[in-house]
Amino acid sequence: MKDAVYHQLVDDLLLQIEESLDDLDIDVDYESAEGILTIILPDQSKIILNKQPPLHQLWVATKFNGHHFNYTDGTWIDERTGAEFYRFLDEAMSRQAGTQVELKLQQN
Residue 51 sits in a domain of what CATH number? 3.30.920.10
pLDDT at 108: 58
Examine residue 105 and state whether it is found in any structural domain, yes or no: no
Examine residue 72 and state whether it is found in any structural domain, yes or no: yes
Examine residue 108 and state whether it is found in any structural domain, yes or no: no
- Domain residue limits at 44: 3-97
Q: Is the pLDDT of residue 23 over 90?
A: no
User: 70 or 24: which carries more pLDDT confidence?
Assistant: 70
Examine residue 104 and state whether it is found in any structural domain, yes or no: no
- Per-residue pLDDT, averaged over 78-100, amounts to 93
Picking from 98, 84, 97, the residue whose alpha carbon sits closest to that of residue 21 is: 97
Examine residue 102 and state whether it is found in any structural domain, yes or no: no
* Pair 57, 70: CB distance under 8 Å: yes
Examine residue 90 and state whether it is found in any structural domain, yes or no: yes
pLDDT at 27: 87
- Per-residue pLDDT, averaged over 66-95, amounts to 94
> How far are the Cα atoms of 21, 79, 89 from residue 105, in angstroms, in the given order?
10, 20, 10
- Per-residue pLDDT, averaged over 70-97, amounts to 94
